């Protein structure tokens, strides 16, 4: 097992640090991620990403690729920055006041943060399922049909009907809602709402799907359906999933990324992370010594 120091700051002679040097040192902290953060066939490339909420830095110098037809699981203790990092990939952090993202992020080698980027089509290409389900205040049908309508994917009723049914089936919700498609999405149970949001995300056939703990409100049957769906989707798409369930990460992902205090400590193929982690912090987390 390789061991390394996490916070490598510039060398400063003991006792000579001023408050200003202290803060420079904090900003210059670099962690070298161990393992395999890069991919030969990257769909998404992130380089030296830093994220700040006001003065507080939540993500420190993270570099990672997510490959085509790959599922990357992101794990780590609560508050380590998994959701923050995920939101960078389709600019959802733009919607959070005081949040600032630095670094190079590309989708198919095109900048995600370029001045000409229109976030509406970007978010259709890079869809997201949030930690808390957030159905629109519309009918079940319209929750799913909305995206295909506004992105011009389908306009005729028959086409929309087909997309709605197909998306709800794939999300494992169709049988529960097929007789009440005109009822409000917000009237469903929490787990049903989450599956509705998954159906809404896949209805526009995104190229990348970001999932932030998509199964935390689901029972084991619905969870199994979503895990099967992730496997199916991988044939055509790129997926990043945040999960607190190591079993889930092990079941659905090819590579796993371990975050710790806003730093990306280790990325390796999933089996290595769970059976023979390279970094001592990863090992401590997966063996339940913290987190």
Which stretches of the chain bind ligand ATP, using CB under 6 A? 53, 58, 76, 78-84, 96
CB of 97 to ligand ATP, least distance (A): 8
Q: Are 268 and 64 in contact (CB under 8 A)?
A: no
- The helix/strand/coil state of 78 is coil
Shorter beta-carbon distance to ligand ATP: residue 10 or 79: 79
CB-nearer residue toward ligand ATP: 145 or 249: 249
What is the nearest approach in angstroms of ligand ATP to the Cβ of residue 255? 18
Binding site for Mg ion (CB under 5 A): 83
Q: Which does 81 bind (CB under 5 to 8 A by kind): ligand ATP, Mg ion, none?
A: ligand ATP
The residue (of 53 and 113) whose beta carbon lies closer to ligand ATP is 53
Q: How far is the CB of 118 from ligand ATP (least distance, A)?
A: 24
Name the residue among 143, 250, 229 with its Cα closest to residue 186: 143
Rounded to an integer, what is the distance from CA 80 to the centroid of its chain?
A: 13
Q: Quick one: how many helices (H) and strands (E) in the chain?
A: 11, 11
For residues 39 and 43, give the distance between their C-alpha atoms in angstroms, rounded to a whole number: 9
Query: Which CA distances in Å does 228 have to 144, 177, 222, 223, 224?
Result: 20, 20, 10, 9, 6
How far apart are CB 242 and Mg ion at their closest, in Å? 6
* Residue 84's binding partner out of ligand ATP, Mg ion, none, with CB under 5 to 8 Å set by partner kind: ligand ATP
Cβ-based nearer residue to ligand ATP, 2 or 23: 23
């Amino acid at each position: 097992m390789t061991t390394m120091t996490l916070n490598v700051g510039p060398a400063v002679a003991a006792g000579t640090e001023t408050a200003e040097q202290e803060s420079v040192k904090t900003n210059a902290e670099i962690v070298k991620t161990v393992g395999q953060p890069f991919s030969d066939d990257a769909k998404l490339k992130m380089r030296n990403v830093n994220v700040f909420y006001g003065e507080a830095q939540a993500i420190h110098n993270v570099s990672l690729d997510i490959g085509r037809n790959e599922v990357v699981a992101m794990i780590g203790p609560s508050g380590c920055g998994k959701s923050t990092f995920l939101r960078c990939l389709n600019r959802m952090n733009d919607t959070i006041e005081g949040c600032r993202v630095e670094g190079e992020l590309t989708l198919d080698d095109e900048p995600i943060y370029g001045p000409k980027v229109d976030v509406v089509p970007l978010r259709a290409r890079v869809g997201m399922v949030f930690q808390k389900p957030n159905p629109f205040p519309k009918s079940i049908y319209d929750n799913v049909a909305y995206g295909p309508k506004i992105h011009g994917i389908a306009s005729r009723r028959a086409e929309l009907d087909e997309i709605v049914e197909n998306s709800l089936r794939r999300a494992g919700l169709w049988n529960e809602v097929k007789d009440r498609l005109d009822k409000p999405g917000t009237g469903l149970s929490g787990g049903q709402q989450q599956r509705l949001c998954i159906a809404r995300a896949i209805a526009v056939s995104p190229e990348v799907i970001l999932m932030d703990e998509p199964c935390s409100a689901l029972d084991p049957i619905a969870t199994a359906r979503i895990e099967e769906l992730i496997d199916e989707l991988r044939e055509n798409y790129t997926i990043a999933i945040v999960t607190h369930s190591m079993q889930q990460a092990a079941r659905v992902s090819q590579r796993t990324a371990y975050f710790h205090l806003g730093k990306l400590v280790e990325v390796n193929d999933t089996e290595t992370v769970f059976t023979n982690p390279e970094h001592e912090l990863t090992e401590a987390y997966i063996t339940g010594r913290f987190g």
